[in-house]
Amino acid sequence: TEHLVSPHTQPSGQQQSNPFSLEGKLALVTGGGTGIGLEIARCMTVAGATVIITGRREAVLQEAVAELGEAAHYLTNDVNELDTLEDLVAQIEATYGPLDILVNNAGINMKKPALEVTDEDFNRIIHTNLNAVFALTRACAKRMVERQRGVIIMISSMAAYYGIDRVVAYAASKSAVEGMVKVLASELSKHNVRVNAIAPGFIETEMSRTAMNSDPDRRDRAMRRTPMGKFGQPSDIGHAAVFMASEAARYITGASLPVDGGNSIGF
Ligand code: NDP
């Protein structure tokens, strides 16, 4: 039975700390100034982490940090500029210390029938949602591997699992990210670095609310496909991200967690 004894089994009598806590951890959340990223940052600071948010618009990030409080900081950065990402990570670590958590949340979408999507449209979406995710993950993971510790979370989408009309490039990018998660999880697991995806369903952000309100048919269709009969909130993704980043998820790697009110059983 010796092989069944886990190295992280607590010796009896030892005070068990809260496995969901992110106390003392440093996280980087891309696109953390708005929507889902902002709530991931908020939930992580509530769980005790220090969080660095990035994005292209300084005013948006400033406002977000003011709202999030002392444990949040920002750096303006465009993830599309792949050759800046190593420096970004170096700058963060020089200022704030070693990164424990990377959340690849920044992403873009565009709705067009597949046959109207140009090469330029396609490349733009793939570049932000896939190439940039890989480049930043590589920059962080090299350092995490050296330290033999780290957690990487990709914000994917149920568009990676299902055929949702008019998001051909977006679906391709998110499916590719899901594939990347499995390979990275496999390669990095021996270095104590976990890699997982969270796949949000219909989440109510300003952007999705405007889109749904302007198209009641779409809203009805989305509702019919959601067994729980309501849209998710950005904080639902935030709570899942805290769990995935925490010790509570220490045996989870290479997974994709749907947070979708049951879309994944109801299609
Ligand atoms: P938002 O548009 O509110 O958030 C996207 C964020 O990414 C913004 O803060 C934006 O900031 C940042 N961003 C975009 N491009 C870049 C870039 N080149 N460099 C740096 N930052 C960038 O949308 P959501 O919160 O809804 O989306 C967040 C993630 O969740 C995305 O990956 C999306 O695909 C995913 N998702 C969302 C769903 C939903 O229903 N809302 C459903 C499934 C997945 P700035 O423009 O200032 O750079």
> Helices (DSSP H) in the chain: which residue ranges?
35-46, 58-68, 85-96, 119-126, 132-147, 168-188, 206-213, 216-224, 234-245, 263-266
What domains appear along the chain, each with residue ranges and CATH number?
20-266 (3.40.50.720)
3-state secondary structure of 154: strand
Question: What's the mean per-residue pLDDT of the chain?
Answer: 94
Question: What CA–CA distance (Å, rounded) separates 190 from 193?
Answer: 8
60 CB under 6 A from ligand 1?
Answer: yes
**How much is the pLDDT for 1?**
44
**Considering only CA atoms, which residue is closest to atom 21 of ligand 1?**
55
3-state secondary structure of 140: helix
Contacts of 32 (CB under 8 A, 6+ apart): 38, 40, 41, 51, 52, 53, 54, 55, 61, 64, 74, 103, 105
154-184 confidence digits (pLDDT tens): 999 999 999 999 999 999 999 999 999 999 9
User: Which atom of ligand 1 lies at the shortest distance from residue 36's CA?
Assistant: 25
105 CB under 6 A from ligand 1?
Answer: yes
Contacts of 165 (CB under 8 A, 6+ apart): 113
**How much is the pLDDT for 213?**
81
Task: Choose between 31 and 3: higher pLDDT.
Answer: 31
For residue 127, the number of C-alpha atoms closer than 13 Å in the C-beta half-sphere is 11
96: CA distance to ligand 1 center in Å? 24
pLDDT band at 18 (very low <50, low <70, confident <90, very high): very high
Active-site residues, by number, are: 170
CB 152, CB 195: distance < 8 Å = yes
CB 32, CB 38: distance < 8 Å = yes
214-255 confidence digits (pLDDT tens): 788 888 988 899 999 999 999 999 999 999 999 999 999 999
Q: Is the dihedral of CA 37, 42, 46, 51 positive or negative?
A: positive
Q: Residue 237, class by beta-carbon neighbours within 10 Å (0-12 exposed, 13-18 middle, 19+ buried)?
A: buried
31 CB under 6 A from ligand 1?
Answer: yes
pTM here is 0.95
The gap between the terminal CA atoms of the chain, to the nearest Å, is 43
pLDDT band at 212 (very low <50, low <70, confident <90, very high): confident
- Three-point CA angle 17, 23, 28, nearest 5°: 140
